[in-house]
A and B are shown apart, each in its own frame.
Chain A
Amino acid sequence: MKKGAMAAKKTIAIIASTEQKTSTIVNKFLMENYRLLLLEKEPNQLNELSAEIKLKHPSLEFEIVNCLKDGCWEADIIILDVSCGEQKEVAELIKDVATQKPVISFSDHENIELENLLKHSRVVTVVNAGGMNESSLCGKDRDALIEVSEILKNVKQSIPQ
């Protein structure tokens, strides 16, 4: 470790209903200053995506993890893109290890249900009004809103225009 080295890398855990949704999120959050944990609910669910990432983005630090709780335990930030029906089950699995962590969800309105399911997490909903460049953020925790806003700002900078 040399003097003046970069800040410690944060870890983002991504839980999504389908491999396609995970792929969409990975491509949105494609940044080399984060370490990504892609959480799969079923074994081998993300094999194709893993191969694709290694091919297209060899410098991206990521790992496939098949335990939602362990992955969220390691994570500093959690991204959740699951259906309403799955939300309760997932929240129950991760709530003990998501305490005080920013949990990002995507919706067309503030995700009050998730805020109630993860009472001690810092839930931020990315409300997509019309494409990624027009998102707004909803949530009760000011620091989490600032942190997620910074992440999204870096996303816009990293995507070629």
Chain B
Amino acid sequence: MYELLYKKISELISISEEEFDVCKTLFVPKKLRKRQYLLQEGDVCKYNTFVSKGLLRSYTIDNKGTEHILQFAFEGWWIGDIYSFLTEQPSNFNIEALEDCELLLITKSSMDTLLEKVPKFERYFRILIQNNLIATQRRLMGTLSETAEEKYTNLVNNFPGCLQRVPQHMIASYLGITRETLSRIRGQMASRK
């Protein structure tokens, strides 16, 4: 249940068994089935979520009913709505399981307790936030300036497993392109090989 979390934490900070035991007592272990929701629009996002197993997506729906996918979260990733989590305001996001998932959830107060009891986690979460900011910046620049082909190529290079696990229409939504454009790009790339 906690093996991947331990591995990911240890990549960024040195943590003893006792310190990790403290950490474990503050997470909520949660199994979520495919198509179930971790968060729905209008809920307050009470948890920051670590993905031990499975795949989720977070998305919004605009006034025309069109879905816009913000991110996917694979094993070892974190997912949540940081605005709603920190301000306790209703979220604009939906977070849905695309596969059966095993998750570890932590509330804001449990996170505060963790930081108090094991101060080295300040560094861990600071690095997570830095990485998130870099990824967000890159995604924004990609959206503003990359061609559809470049977006697709970057996605495939950075997340090779996603093509097998994420439905095509969701990949198109994530890239901000139509399904037809995605099919055309994939066809062109296949014929070049």
Which of A's residues lie within 8 Å of B, judged by CB? 1-9, 70, 73-74, 76, 96-97, 99-101, 120, 143
Interface flags, B19-32, vs A, CB<8A=1, else 0? 00000111111111
What residues make up the interface of B, taking CB atoms closer than 8 Å to A? 1, 24-33, 36-43, 61, 63, 65, 67, 94, 96, 102, 107, 109-110
A3 close to B30 (CB less than 8 A): no
Tell me which of B40, B63, B107 contacts A1 (CB under 8 A). Answer: B40
Q: In chain B, what residue has the closest Cβ to A98? A: B29
Contact A8/B29 with A1-B94, A2-B61, A2-B65 known, Cβ cut-off 8 Å: no
B29 touches which of A6, A9, A97 (Cβ 8 Å): A97
Contacts of A74 in B (CB 8 A): 30-33
Complex Cα distance, B36 from A120, in Å, reads 26
Residues of A with C-beta under 8 A to B41: 1, 3-5
- Specify which chain A residues have a CB less than 8 angstroms from the CB of B107 in the assembled complex: 100
Q: Which of A7, A9, A97, A101 contacts B42 (CB 8 A)?
A: A7
Q: Which residues of B contact A143 (CB under 8 A)?
A: 109
Q: Across the interface, do A101 and B28 meet the contact criterion of CB distance under 8 Å? A: yes
B54 CB, min distance to chain A CBs, angstroms: 13
Closest Cβ neighbor of A143 among chain B residues: B109
CB-CB under 8 A for A73 and B30, given A1-B61, A3-B63: yes
Pick 29 A–B contacts, CB within 8 A, sort by A: A1-B37, A1-B40, A1-B61, A3-B41, A3-B65, A4-B41, A5-B40, A5-B41, A6-B40, A6-B42, A7-B40, A7-B42, A7-B43, A8-B37, A8-B40, A70-B31, A73-B30, A73-B31, A96-B1, A96-B29, A97-B1, A99-B24, A99-B26, A99-B27, A99-B28, A100-B25, A100-B27, A100-B107, A100-B110
CB distance from A110 to the nearest CB of B (A): 22
Chain A residues whose C-beta falls within 8 Å of the C-beta of B31 in the assembled complex: 70, 73-74
Evaluate contact between B38 and A8: CB separation under 8 angstroms.
yes
> Nearest residue in B to A35 (C-beta to C-beta)?
B36
State A94–B142 Cα separation when bound (angstroms): 46
Residues of B within 8 A of A73 (CB): 29-31, 102
| Contact between chains at B1 and A100 (CB < 8 Å) | no
Interface centre among A5, A9, A120, A143 (most CB of B within 10 A): A5
Given contacts A7-B42, A8-B40, contact A76 B30 (CB under 8 A): yes
Interfacial chain B residues near A1, Cβ < 8 Å: 37, 40-41, 61, 67, 94, 96
- Distance in angstroms between the alpha carbons of A88 and B177 in the assembled complex: 56
Q: How far is the CB of A93 from the nearest CB of chain B, in Å?
A: 14
Residues of A within 8 A of B63 (CB): 3
> Min CB distance, B56 to chain A, in Å?
13
Instruction: Tell me how far the C-beta of B37 lies from the nearest C-beta in chain A, rounded to whole angstroms.
Output: 4
Given A74-B30, A100-B27, list of 6 further CB < 8 A pairs?
A3-B65, A7-B40, A7-B42, A73-B30, A96-B29, A100-B28
